[in-house]
Chains A and B, each alone.
Chain A
Amino acid sequence: MPETQQTDLIYVAAFALLGLLFAIGPFVLVYLLSARKTRQTINKRDQYIECGVDPIGDAWIRYSAVYYLYALVFVAFAVDVLYLVPVAMVYDRVFPVRDFVELIIFVGILSLVIVYAWKKGVFKWTRRAPARQPSRIPSPQPNERQTTAA
């Protein structure tokens, strides 16, 4: 086996090892650093997140449909911004003014999404129905759901 390939293989192995360490490391660190003796764990064994505020229910609830509207507005930008990359590559090479104007038109038409959503009140956060009473204990039944999306 030639010398260079050998060193390459060593690099690959080193990368793999580092990656593994990066993944396992936090678990080890938590195990070493956490205060297992003094921690208050009564009634908190079933929680997914044990620090901070007590959770007020299952994570598998139905979210309000307003979240989806945000997601849709986001999608409009998330992908279309992709087009700015190729424009940036050739920007200001031949026609500086034209490039700028075209960018303005492109982004302007894109932001019509925001104008529309704003005008139609998507950004006004209104709950359709009152939220369920927060429960102290995480609910074990997945069927019990909030009705805000209805």
Chain B
Amino acid sequence: MIQEFIMAFLPELVLLAGVLAVFVVTLYNDRVARARAVSLATAAALVVSCLITLRSEATLFDGAYRVDLFSQWLKLAFGVGYLAVILLGRRVDDIRPDIRPEFFLFLGISMTGFVFLASSIDAITLVVSLELSSFPLFLLVAMRREREGQRMQMESAIKFMMFGVAANGVMLFGLSYLYGLTSTTSIPLMVQRLQPVIDGPLALAGLGLTFAGLYYKLAVFPFHFWTPDVYQGASNETAGIIASMPKLGAVVILVRFAAAATPDNQLITEILTVLAVASMFYGNLVALVQRDLKRLLGFSTIAHAGYTLLGFVALDEAGFSASLYYMTGYLFMVLACFVVISRVSRDGENVAIEDLHGLHRRSPLLALTMVIGIFALAGIPPFVGFMGKFALLNAAFARGHTVLVILAVINTAIAAYYYLRVVHASFFGDRDATDQMPIALDGSTRALCIGLIAIVILLGVTPAPVIDAITTSLASVVAVP
């Protein structure tokens, strides 16, 4: 019995042990390199253990935690993301010097939250893992070093935290309503018992409030306002983390809850449509005028959250798996962009679009990574962004949301404008040779760039098996027991 438990719970155990080891390292001062090495080993072990346990199935902790194909491939995605973020962090120069090892500790704790999130099928485990994943991120933002011309990190942290806690409160209040209606905290049971009463005011209020809390994490339009400020104020590595992991986590929970509504639920579809359209237009239009690259990505995140909602408008398996596929791809595209940002930046400063001028001469590999990341975000074939958008549009179109699909396509065109500005800057822009020093890349950065490019292309050229796999694994989540 204990053996089965370990087989199912291996990734979590590995991660917990690794985080404890990092904790021990942080007890001593000036151990950044060691903290990073331990984290790197943990992340690698996590990826391997996820691969080992990919096929295991179990329900642990009295039905609060389910290990199945769905949860395991998500953990795998998180694990690869973790690995990428550590490599991206290098020696985290932009974190206050005395607390640099703690960067890796908090990163590890946050990752624990995400990994637990993938398997949580009970409101209690869900809330705990959600908070576990988000609190360390608040602290990571505040840990950026303070210096001349860089004083906004505390402000970002306060905004991030205040809105984050408010969103938590809203979500918990919504969950309490859902619990009151269904008298269970188990999400599959909750979803099942909600179906007869879904049009009642209490159910709508509960679902609406719960979703509002999750939309905050995803940065959907009316809950988006923290995104650009936090991206700008956080150090480059931290912004990379915040831009990637929480989005996938939020989509996972949304999928678990969205199964409560059937596709022909008019009201929910309409609300989601409005939110999707508003976020796409808002994000893309404001991104047009941004100069700071991280702010630009912040607004583009809002637009991407809008695209993701297309899958939820469809409210069927095809839509959900398209959303998950898109977000998994998004994780890697956005990480690719942040690798470039953190390497181009001088001494950890924020990067403006002009700073990319002449990048192809300073470092061809970085320029290539940037272009592929941006093309993927813009939705240009053959990268994962294109196939993801295509799947999303397909799912929405199959359900007859033609207007929405047209609006989404228009938005893709708007977005192409500012994405191409970035590409133009890194490949064609030339500036007088004030800062044209070539950027030296160490081996791990090269490996990271190549790895991310490979993932973005691989996911993009072989969408069918991936989406099929997601759909199969979704069966256990969406199918009402």
Among A16-24, A43-51, A64-72, A111-119, the one that faces the other chain is: A111-119
Which of chain B's residues have a CB closer than 8 A to the CB of A115?
A: 27
Distance, CA A58 to CA B23, complexed state (A): 41
Distance, CA A92 to CA B26, complexed state (A): 37
B24-47 interface code vs A (CB 8 A; 1 in, 0 out): 001110000000000000000000
Query: Quick one: which of A45-103 are within 8 Å of B by CB?
Result: none
Distance, CA A112 to CA B27, complexed state (A): 10
| Closest chain A CB from B97 CB (angstroms) | 15
Which of chain A's residues have a CB closer than 8 A to the CB of B27?
A: 115-116, 119
| Closest chain A CB from B105 CB (angstroms) | 10
Which of chain B's residues have a CB closer than 8 A to the CB of A119?
A: 27-28
Distance, CA A112 to CA B26, complexed state (A): 12
| Count of chain B residues with a beta carbon within 8 Å of a chain A beta carbon | 4
Which of chain A's residues have a CB closer than 8 A to the CB of B26?
A: 116
B457-475 interface code vs A (CB 8 A; 1 in, 0 out): 0000000000000000000
Closest to A115 in B: B27
| Closest chain B CB from A88 CB (angstroms) | 19
Which of chain A's residues have a CB closer than 8 A to the CB of B23?
A: 112, 116
| Count of chain A residues with a beta carbon within 8 Å of a chain B beta carbon | 4
| Closest chain B CB from A109 CB (angstroms) | 8
Closest to A118 in B: B27
| Closest chain A CB from B109 CB (angstroms) | 12
| Closest chain B CB from A86 CB (angstroms) | 13
Closest to B28 in A: A119
Distance, CA A119 to CA B23, complexed state (A): 12
Distance, CA A63 to CA B28, complexed state (A): 28
Closest to A109 in B: B20
Which of chain B's residues have a CB closer than 8 A to the CB of A116?
A: 23, 26-27
Closest to B27 in A: A119
| Closest chain A CB from B70 CB (angstroms) | 28
Distance, CA A115 to CA B28, complexed state (A): 12
Task: Give the interface centre of B26, B27, B28 by most chain A CB atoms within 10 Å.
Answer: B27
Closest to B98 in A: A120
Distance, CA A42 to CA B28, complexed state (A): 56
| Closest chain A CB from B159 CB (angstroms) | 21
Distance, CA A116 to CA B99, complexed state (A): 13
Which of chain A's residues have a CB closer than 8 A to the CB of B28?
A: 119
Which of chain B's residues have a CB closer than 8 A to the CB of A112?
A: 23
Closest to A116 in B: B27
| Closest chain A CB from B426 CB (angstroms) | 43
| Closest chain B CB from A83 CB (angstroms) | 12
Query: Quick one: which of A108-130 are within 8 Å of B by CB?
Result: 112, 115-116, 119
| Closest chain A CB from B30 CB (angstroms) | 13
| Closest chain B CB from A108 CB (angstroms) | 10
Distance, CA A115 to CA B20, complexed state (A): 13
| Closest chain B CB from A82 CB (angstroms) | 14
| Closest chain B CB from A60 CB (angstroms) | 24
Distance, CA A81 to CA B23, complexed state (A): 22
Query: Quick one: which of B1-26 are within 8 Å of A by CB?
Result: 23, 26
| Closest chain B CB from A126 CB (angstroms) | 16
| Closest chain A CB from B17 CB (angstroms) | 12
| Closest chain B CB from A121 CB (angstroms) | 11
Distance, CA A119 to CA B101, complexed state (A): 14
| Closest chain B CB from A104 CB (angstroms) | 15
| Closest chain B CB from A113 CB (angstroms) | 11
| Closest chain B CB from A111 CB (angstroms) | 12
Distance, CA A83 to CA B98, complexed state (A): 34
Distance, CA A112 to CA B105, complexed state (A): 13
Closest to B105 in A: A116
A24-48 interface code vs B (CB 8 A; 1 in, 0 out): 0000000000000000000000000
Closest to A119 in B: B27
| Closest chain A CB from B146 CB (angstroms) | 15
| Closest chain A CB from B24 CB (angstroms) | 9
Distance, CA A116 to CA B23, complexed state (A): 9
Closest to A112 in B: B23
| Closest chain A CB from B393 CB (angstroms) | 47
| Closest chain B CB from A101 CB (angstroms) | 12
Distance, CA A115 to CA B25, complexed state (A): 12
Closest to B99 in A: A120
Distance, CA A87 to CA B139, complexed state (A): 31
Distance, CA A112 to CA B28, complexed state (A): 14
Distance, CA A116 to CA B28, complexed state (A): 10
Distance, CA A116 to CA B26, complexed state (A): 8
| Closest chain A CB from B52 CB (angstroms) | 24
| Closest chain A CB from B477 CB (angstroms) | 29
Task: Report A's interface with B, CB cutoff 8 A.
Answer: 112, 115-116, 119
Task: Report B's interface with A, CB cutoff 8 A.
Answer: 23, 26-28
- 7 A-B pairs within 8 Å (CB atoms) are namely A112-B23, A115-B27, A116-B23, A116-B26, A116-B27, A119-B27, A119-B28
Give the 7 A-B residue pairs with the shortest CB-CB distance, closest first.
Answer: A119-B27, A112-B23, A116-B27, A115-B27, A116-B23, A116-B26, A119-B28
